[in-house]
A and B are shown apart, each in its own frame.
Chain A
Amino acid sequence: QKEVEQNSGPLSVPEGAIASLNCTYSDRGSQSFFWYRQYSGKSPELIMSIYSNGDKEDGRFTAQLNKASQYVSLLIRDSQPSDSATYLCAFFTGGGNKLTFGTGTQLKVEL
């Protein structure tokens, strides 16, 4: 079983719609979860962090964490063409600051 799994996409949504990105992980000991956005040719940029079960909202972004189901998701409301990017989920494993990343979901917001 892979440590983290994401649908690679591409996920296409029309402008103004809600985009839903999902990630499952295998390490039940994981406590910290992150969503990064990566534009083509650029480095990852932190979007959200979430540590507790439930929802966390920041502007148009909502992260959802369910530790019992080992599932973390990112909702993007009112999707804009500028949201078109690859979204990477990540969590800490093995102590220290070792982040394990999913393979990323490519999101395309269409006009």
Chain B
Amino acid sequence: KAGVTQTPRYLIKTRGQQVTLSCSPISGHRSVSWYQQTPGQGLQFLFEYFSETQRNKGNFPGRFSGRQFSNSRSEMNVSTLELGDSALYLCASSLGSTGGGETQYFGPGTRLLVL
């Protein structure tokens, strides 16, 4: 099976712009979770989507949003970019069959640099 794919892999934006990142989960997986990784804060949970609904949300401002499509592909959007949003954004997929607590498999990530 193909793994989790994320596009684009690298992105450079300027402050104030917005960005959309895409994630395609492993075939058959219905849950997609997003994480932000920075040197200072480590890996932090952004949100999880299952069956096109946000099931869980981390402690990030409303500038961070996401959605999931009927084919389980997910996008996350960051509006009004700030320098501190520079990070590696990781998507993880899991089966989604048990309501939570499932093994998650990570994609390669999108590295965002905000100038």
How many angstroms from the CA of A98 to the CA of B54 in the assembled complex?
12
How many angstroms from the CA of A85 to the CA of B17 in the assembled complex?
34
* Cβ contacts under 8 Å, B104 to chain A: 34, 46, 97, 99
How many angstroms from the CA of A36 to the CA of B90 in the assembled complex?
14
Which one of B40-48, B62-70, B72-80 is at the A interface?
B40-48
* Cβ contacts under 8 Å, A45 to chain B: 106
Is A101 a contact of B43 with CB atoms below 8 Å?
yes
* Cβ contacts under 8 Å, B103 to chain A: 34, 46, 49
Q: Is B58 an interface residue (CB 8 A)?
A: yes
Interface residues of A in 27-79 (CB under 8 A from B): 31-32, 34, 36, 42-46, 49
Contact with A along B6-46 (1 / 0, CB 8 A): 00000000000000000000000001010100000011110
Q: Is the interface of B mostly helix, strand, loop or mixed?
A: strand
The tally of residues in A whose CB lies under 8 Å from a CB in B reads 24
Is B107 a contact of A43 with CB atoms below 8 Å?
yes
Q: How many contacts between A and B, using CB within 8 angstroms?
A: 68
Contact with A along B67-110 (1 / 0, CB 8 A): 00000000000000000000010101010100111111111110
Residue contacts A-B, CB under 8 angstroms, 26 given: A36-B106, A42-B108, A43-B88, A43-B106, A43-B107, A43-B109, A44-B90, A46-B103, A88-B43, A92-B101, A96-B48, A96-B99, A97-B31, A97-B33, A97-B92, A97-B94, A97-B101, A97-B102, A98-B48, A98-B100, A99-B33, A99-B45, A99-B104, A100-B45, A101-B42, A104-B42
